[in-house]
Structures are given as structure tokens and as C-alpha cells.
């Protein structure tokens, strides 16, 4: 009996020893890799935010202009800010004079222009554009008592406009009228206000702002009419010719802002 008890005890000790050895092997064994499904579920790192520099002639209210504290404000800056959040880029806006703004783009001083640039066939020959982000017409500003109400009434008149804009080109095409160029649209409006010219032409949104919102001019000036054209005119963000990467970023961001309804909110802020 004692012999049986001793043999049983030895057997139990042998079994315990084997079990501990197996546990130790399991602990020392290299851990198996996580299943592929678990690896796929791991969140991907966020793409690095890029910085895009825009040139903007900030003399074009309410599209882009300087407020009383010299901050760049307006519809376009707000749109770019929303696009940056949607498209994971940081817009940096440089206030740049209109005269030379396209030459600066060609020279690589900035990556894009956000300055109410109309998309025209002539400009598309030397630069590329994003998708359109705004439709404009050319508005004719006059003094309220001028009696000017149609294109025919502009015959023999002097029309001011910012040089190199579609408004200036339109003024030059009016039969019998003299187009006078200015570095800034505000200088043309000031001359109109003081009676030194007979009319001024610029984007209708800008003309509305001077005629209806500006405290200095709204009692004297009015938007007489808008010029009718065969083709619609749209604004776009201009980039260097062949810069497809920046165009892709801008177009995708613009589409997201429009789809979310934020574009409409920004539009209402500045135009309604």
C-alpha cells in the first residue's frame, strides 16, 4: 500500500512538472501577428496639411478687401478658409496689387490667385483655373442724376475701370465711349463720385457694394444696369499653367464646401 502511495505521488509530481514546463514554453514563444482584419482596422495616419499661398488684390469689396483693422476679409477669403478645412490645406493670402499679379504667378511668387479673376480664353492660354466658384456680370455705375440708363447713353462718355479687368475690356468695346484705366476700382469710383468721369464698370457684386453699401457713395451713385453678353462669366482660382496638383486640391475642396451647404452660408453672409 505504501509503495502504491509513493508511486502515485511521484506520478502526480511528474505531471505537474510537465504542465509548468509547457506553460513556460508558451510564455517564451513569440506572439503571433494580429489577424489581417485587425491590422486593416487600425486608423491610417492623417495626411500632412499643405500650405497654399494665394495672391489677392484686396481692393474689390465685398469679394476681397481690407477692413478697418487692415485684415483681409470678404467672400473669397471666407470661401478659401472653408475650402482649407474641407481639403486639408492652409490658405495663406498675400495682398498683391492687381498690376503684375499674373506676372507674379508666372514667376512662382505664389501658387494661386484668389482675386475675382474671370475665366477667359485669353487667360487660359497662359494659366490654368479651378472650377468656377462665382458667376458675375459687368455692372455700370453712374451718378443718380446722370440720366444714363442704357449702353446707348454711354456714347461720348468717359468710363472708368480697373486696368486689365473684364470691366475695362467691356468699356473699351462700347461704341463712341472712352475707356479710362485705373490701378484700383476704388479710384475710378472716387472720380465718378467727384464728376471727373461719367460711369464706372466693374463686377456687379462690387458695383452693388459701392452703390448700396458704401456710406460715402450710396446717396450719390447708383447701379444703372448690367451689360448683357452672349456668354456667362465665371470667376476661378488661377494657378500656373500645368499645375494639376493644386487644381485637384482646390476642385475637391470646393466641391465639398458646396455639397455641405457651407458655400450657401458664406454667400448669404456677403450678398443677402
Torsion of CA 265, 269, 270, 272, to 10 degrees: 90
Per-run averaged pLDDT (10 residues), the chain, 272 residues: 45 46 50 54 76 97 96 98 98 96 97 97 97 97 97 97 95 96 97 98 96 95 94 96 98 98 97 84
Q: How high is the pLDDT of residue 1?
A: 44
Alpha carbon distances (Å) from 165 to 36, 42, 84, 118, 196: 58, 52, 27, 8, 21
pLDDT value of residue 35: 55
pLDDT of the residue at 272 = 78
Q: What is the pLDDT of residue 16?
A: 45
C-alpha cell at 100: 503684375
Q: What is the pTM of this model?
A: 0.79
> How confident is the model at residue 43, as a pLDDT?
72
Amino acid at each position: 500500500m505504501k509503495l502504491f502511495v509513493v508511486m502515485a505521488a511521484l506520478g502526480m509530481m511528474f505531471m505537474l512538472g510537465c504542465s509548468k514546463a509547457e506553460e513556460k514554453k508558451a510564455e517564451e514563444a513569440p506572439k503571433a501577428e494580429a489577424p489581417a482584419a485587425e491590422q486593416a482596422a487600425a486608423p491610417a495616419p492623417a495626411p500632412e496639411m499643405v500650405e497654399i499661398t494665394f495672391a489677392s488684390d484686396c481692393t474689390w469689396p465685398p469679394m476681397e478687401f481690407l477692413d478697418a483693422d487692415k485684415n483681409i476679409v470678404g467672400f473669397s477669403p471666407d470661401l478659401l478658409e472653408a475650402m482649407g478645412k474641407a481639403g486639408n490645406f492652409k490658405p495663406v493670402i498675400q495682398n498683391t496689387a492687381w498690376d503684375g499679379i499674373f506676372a507674379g504667378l508666372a514667376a512662382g511668387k505664389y501658387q494661386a490667385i484668389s482675386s475675382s479673376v474671370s475665366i477667359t480664353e485669353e487667360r487660359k492660354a497662359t494659366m490654368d483655373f479651378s472650377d468656377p466658384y462665382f458667376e458675375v456680370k459687368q455692372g455700370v455705375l453712374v451718378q443718380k442724376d446722370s440720366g444714363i440708363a442704357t449702353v446707348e447713353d454711354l456714347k461720348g462718355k468717359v468710363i472708368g475701370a480697373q486696368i486689365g479687368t473684364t470691366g475695362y475690356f467691356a468699356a473699351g468695346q462700347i461704341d463712341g465711349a472712352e475707356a479710362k484705366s485705373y490701378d484700383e476700382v476704388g479710384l475710378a469710383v472716387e472720380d465718378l463720385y467727384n464728376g471727373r468721369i461719367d460711369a464706372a464698370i466693374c463686377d456687379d457684386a462690387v458695383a452693388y457694394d459701392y452703390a448700396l453699401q458704401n456710406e460715402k457713395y450710396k446717396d450719390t451713385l447708383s447701379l444703372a444696369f448690367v451689360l448683357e453678353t452672349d456668354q456667362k462669366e465665371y470667376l476661378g482660382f488661377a494657378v500656373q499653367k500645368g499645375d494639376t496638383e493644386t487644381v485637384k486640391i482646390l476642385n475637391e475642396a470646393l466641391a465639398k464646401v458646396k455639397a455641405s451647404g457651407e458655400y450657401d452660408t458664406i454667400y448669404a453672409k456677403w450678398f443677402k
